Amino acid sequence: MRIMIILGCPEPPVLVPSFMFLLNMLKNKGHEVIVSANPAALKLIESADPEKYYLTGIGFQPIDEGLKTRAEVDHIIGFAHNDAAVNYIVTYKMTHNVNTSAIVFGKEFNEELLQILTENGVNAEMARAFHNPTPLNVKIKKMFSDL
């Protein structure tokens, strides 16, 4: 399966380690992964894996480019901690017309973000996580172990 992961602003410390956790899980299952992310998130990802242990074979594109040039993917997974991330996830779902899932996370639960995603046909769940990636990683395992 070809899966796109969407990453917005990397302000929450859990974003990059949880992304790497998901990426490792998907690669171990044999999925092809494309990452669409904002420039700061892309730089953090590259810095987190300088030897390209996890990033080998992964496609990357700036988040805005993914809306101009439509990649052929089977599923989209987004990380959402703010309105902008939710808007990108919904827009990607509409432009790519594929099954889309999202994890809403942050210091507090944000029902409004979850509601916007679900109203737009995105399978979304929440995890309370900001500094500690464990709750987010547990949610990732629960949501995507059967992909």
As a whole number of Å, the CA-based R_g of the chain is 14
Q: Which amino acid is at 116?
A: I
Domain that holds residue 127: 2-144
- Could you give the CA distance from residue 105 to residue 135 in angstroms, rounded to a whole number? 9
What's the number of domains the chain is made of?
1
CATH code of the domain covering residue 139:
3.40.50.10160
Question: For residue 13, what pLDDT band results from cuts at 50, 70 and 90?
Answer: very high
* pLDDT, tens digit, 9 for 90 and up, residues 15-28: 999 999 999 999 99
Q: What's this model's pTM, rounded to 2 decimal places? A: 0.95
**Chain segment 48-79, per-residue pLDDT in tens:** 999 999 999 999 999 988 888 888 999 999 99
Q: Of 147 and 112, which is predicted with more confidence? A: 112
Q: Give the number of other CB atoms < 10 A from CB of residue 48.
A: 13
